[in-house]
Amino acid sequence: MAHAHDREILRLAVPAFLALVAEPLFLLADAAIVGHLGTAPLAGLGIAAAVLQTAIGLCVFLAYGTTAGVARHVGAGDLRGAIAQGVDGVWLAVAIGSLTTVLGVVLTEPLVHAFGADASVTAPAATYLRIAFLGTVPLLVMLATTGVLRGLQDTRTPLVVAVAGNALNVVLNLVLVHGIGGWGGLGIAGSALGSVLAQVASAAGLLGVVVRAARREGASLRPDLPGIRAAAHAAVALVVRTLTLRAALLVTTYAVTVAATTARDQQVDLATHQLAMTLWTFLAFVLDAIAIAAQAITGRYLGAGDVAGTRAVTRRMVTWGVYGGVVTGLLLATASPFLGALFTGDQAVRDLLVPVLLVAALFQPVAGVVFVLDGVLIGAGDGAYLARGGLVTLVVYAPVALLVASAAAGLTLLWVAFAGLFMLARFAVLVQRARGDAWLVTGT
C-alpha cells in the first residue's frame, strides 16, 4: 500500500517540486541582480517584495481552492464539471487582478512608506513596486490556471511553463537592469519590468492549455456569474487563512525595520532579512511540493468517497514532509556560510546572514509537517478551520515579534521567534485537526 501511495505522491510531487523551485527563482534572480546595484536597492526590493507577495499571496486561494474543487469533481467522475469550476476561478482571477492593479499603483507610495524605512530605501522600493503591480492580472491568472491543472492531476504542464518563464525572467532582468550595447540599463525598474513581461508570457501559456481542455470537454468559457460568486464565497475562509500568514510576515518585516538604531543598521538588517526570507520562501516552496500533491490527492479521494485511502495517503505524505524538512535543513545549514556572496558584496550583510540561516535550517523538519498538513486540509476543503487556526497562531506570534523588536534583541533572535514560535504554533494547530475526523467530508 505504501509503495502505491509513494508512486502517486511522486507522480504529482516531483513535477510540482521542480515548478515550485522555479517560481521563487523570479525573486532570487531579482535579488541577485539588484543586489549588485547596492545595499539600498536590495533593501528596497525587500520592502517591495513584502508588499507584492502579500497582495498576491492573499489570492493564493485561486490555486488552492481551485485545485481542491476540481479534484473532487475528478474523483466523482465529472470531468466537464471540474473544468467548468476551474474556468470560474480564472474569471475570478481576472476580476480581482484588475482591481488589485489599480489600487496597487495608486497606493504605492503610502504602502512603501508604511514600513518607516529611510528615503534611500523607499525610493527604489516605490519604483519597483509601481511597475510590478502591472503584472498582477497575469500572476493571478497563473495561479488559477495552475490550480485547474493540478486538480486535473497534471503538475507537469505548470512545470514546463514555470521553467520557461523563469528563464525568460532572468534574461530580461539582465538586459533591462544592466543593459547591453547601450540598450537597457534601467536599474531596479528594469528588474520589475522584466518580471512583468515574463509573467505575461507564462500566464498566456497556461491559459492556452486550460482553454483547449475546456473545448475538448464541452465546458463553457464564458463568465458564469453564479459560479464566480460561489467560487468567491468559498474562498473567504482561505483568504482569512492566508491573511494571517501574510500578516505574520509583514509583522516580521516591520519588526526588522523598527529594531534598527541607525540608518546603516536598518539597511543591513533589511537587506539580510530580504535574503533570508527569499531563501526561506525558496525552501518553503520545495517542501510545499508534497502539499500540492496533498491538495490534489486528498480532493480526489474524498470526492470518490474513500476515507480510508485519504487517511493512509495523509500518513505517508506527513512522513515525506519530515524527510524533506531534514534534507532541506541540512543543505541550508551547510550552505549558509557561502550563500551571502551570491547576492551582495556587503560584508556586514554576509556575516549577519549566517546565524539567521542556521536558525531557519533548524526548524525545517517542523515546516515540512506544517506544509503537508496545510495542503491536506486545503484539499479537504477545511478552510474554516484553517482560518481560525491562522488567527490563533498570529495572536501568539505577533506580540512576541514586536517585543523582540522593541528590546533591540537583533535580527537572529527575531528569526528564532519567526521560524520557531510561529511554525511550532502552526504545527500544534494542524496536528490537532488532522487527528480528528471532522475534516473527512466526502462528495463534491
* Tens-digit pLDDT profile for residues 327-340: 999 999 998 888 88
Q: Which of 55-59, 300-304, 387-391 has the lowest mean pLDDT?
A: 55-59
Residues 361-406: tens digit of each pLDDT: 999 999 999 999 999 999 888 888 999 999 999 999 999 888 887 7
pLDDT attached to residue 427:
95
Nearest to 171 by CA among 201, 137, 143, 203: 201
Beta bridge partners of 183: 180
| Contact predicate 332/309, CB 8 Å | no
* Residue predicted with more confidence, 124 or 425: 425
Which of the four pLDDT bands, split at 50, 70 and 90, describes residue 194? confident
The mean predicted confidence, pLDDT, of the chain is 85
Which of the four pLDDT bands, split at 50, 70 and 90, describes residue 419? confident
Nearest to 382 by CA among 63, 147, 57, 65: 65
For residue 1, is pLDDT > 50?
no
CA 33 to chain centre: 21
* Residue predicted with more confidence, 154 or 2: 154
* Residue predicted with more confidence, 178 or 205: 205
pLDDT attached to residue 260:
65
Beta bridge partners of 180: 183
pLDDT attached to residue 138:
93
For residue 296, is pLDDT > 80?
yes
Angstrom distance (rounded) from CA 24 to CA 284: 10
Residues 222-280: tens digit of each pLDDT: 888 888 888 887 788 888 998 898 888 888 888 887 766 666 667 777 788 878 888 88
pLDDT attached to residue 85:
85
* Residue predicted with more confidence, 95 or 25: 95
For residue 321, is pLDDT > 70?
yes
pLDDT attached to residue 205:
94
| Contact predicate 41/124, CB 8 Å | yes
* Residue predicted with more confidence, 122 or 212: 212
Of all residues in the chain, the percent with pLDDT exceeding 90 is 23
